[in-house]
Amino acid sequence: MFLLDEQTAGINIGVKTDILLLMRELAAAGKAVIVVSSEFEELLAVSERIVVMHDGKCVATRRTQETSEHELILPAGGRNAGRGAPTHAGDATAGEPT
């Protein structure tokens, strides 16, 4: 298992591309790759599933193919994409689609 935290922050575009390729290769080889990032575009490019956290709580879980950057920004900022109201701790739990 690999845990990567803001793995491309402050890195030039060439190295960033190499890191994203390596992440895909690790996943294709059957390795678990957990990524902590605020770069939604990168997350969408390399992940199968995204768990959004806000204030230390899971507020949304999305399959990458079924979501967009916009749908991730709202819950990450403490807003519920469907209602526009602040999310509550009980609105979503890890592993359950919202």
d(CA 10, CA 34): 19
Q: What is the pLDDT of residue 94?
A: 45
Is the pLDDT score of 96 beyond 60? no
Is the pLDDT score of 95 beyond 60? no
**pLDDT higher for 66 or 78?**
66
Q: Are 73 and 67 in contact (CB under 8 A)?
A: no
Q: What is the pLDDT of residue 82?
A: 47
**pLDDT higher for 21 or 54?**
21
Nearest to 15 by CA among 55, 47, 42: 42
pLDDT, tens only, 23-74: 889 989 999 888 888 888 888 888 888 888 888 888 888 898 888 887 887 6
Q: What is the pLDDT of residue 80?
A: 65
d(CA 27, CA 66): 19
